[in-house]
Amino acid sequence: MKTVRIRLLAFVMCLSITFIYAQENEEKEEKRFQMYEVHEDQVKPSMVAQYEKTAKLFADKMREHNIADGYNLATNTDNFRYLYVSPIENLQGVGQNSGMSELFEKMGADSFGEMMDGFNACYDRHGSYVILLDKKLSYMPGGITQTPEGENYRKFFYIYYSPQNGAAMRDAMSDVKAMFESKKSTSDYRVYRSGFGNMDSYYMVAVAAKDPIEMEQNGAANDKLLGADAQVVFGKVLSLALSMEEYTGYIRPELGYTPKKQ
């Protein structure tokens, strides 16, 4: 009987250790990712001026009324997409961080509706989805930030892959980071993964610079630093990619909004 009790105690201890280990891994995974809700407006080229005028008015009204719950980082790309990126804790936060309802109350229905009408003719397609910043795959030795000081120019690389190759693609992206680390590259990048609301599976790599000239100079210097090793490492990523897309863009502080600190 004593032997049975000892074995039972040992079994319970093993379960406890397994649970603690699993819990620690789960906490590490949560820290690895930062979730963002993205609202995307695909603007008609002929309506860019009106769209930006309305978007600027919207951001100004958010600032005027000091909306507490609203936050977004605004970006536009060279294919006329305007992206508003807001951090959320989990999927329950989708649609909860826009500040729209608070702004509606403070402006009043008529004024708010008139302002929002300015957007309607500017696009035929818009919507929201979720992406996840993968801190483990991102390479920013000085600390991860979406807004490096003085660097509002962006290149965005979208790498699409089949879900069945998800683990292999993750490993290939990890190998890229390991190469950058071993070469002590000074070219930072952030890696985002597609999440809820995306029809495709992809990684998006965001690279920042002061302007297009600095971007090209940094890229050329980094290519020289990485050397021939890059062909093999990047080749693993390319072998798993269904397709790739590259866009340029800018962070637009005047179209974004950050609440004042209380």
The per-residue pLDDT string of the chain (262 residues; one tens digit each, 9 = 90 and over) reads 445 455 544 444 444 444 333 444 444 455 899 999 999 999 999 999 999 999 999 999 999 999 988 889 999 999 999 999 999 999 888 877 678 889 999 999 999 999 999 999 999 999 999 999 999 999 999 999 999 999 999 999 999 999 999 999 999 999 999 999 999 999 999 999 999 999 999 999 999 999 999 999 999 999 999 999 899 999 999 999 999 999 999 999 999 999 887 5
Q: Is residue 61 part of a domain?
A: yes
pTM for this entry: 0.86
Q: Which residue has the tokens 């008609």?
A: 44
User: Is 179 in the same domain as 105?
Assistant: no
Residue 262 resides in a domain: no
Same domain as 147, residue 77? no
Residue 38 CA: distances (Å) to CA of 66, 72, 83, 151, 210: 21, 9, 6, 21, 24
**Residue 13: inside a domain:** no
Q: Is residue 81 part of a domain?
A: yes
Cα–Cα distance measured from residue 204 to residue 185, given in angstroms and rounded to the nearest whole number: 20
Q: Is residue 122 included in any domain, yes or no?
A: yes
Domain hosting residue 81, numbered range: 33-130
Co-location of 39 and 87 in the same domain: yes
Shared-domain flag, residues 158 and 122: no
Total domains, the chain: 2
Q: Is residue 27 part of a domain?
A: no
Q: Could you say which of 130, 157, 174 is where a domain stops?
A: 130
User: Do 160 and 184 share a domain, yes or no?
Assistant: yes
Token pair belonging to 152:
């509002």
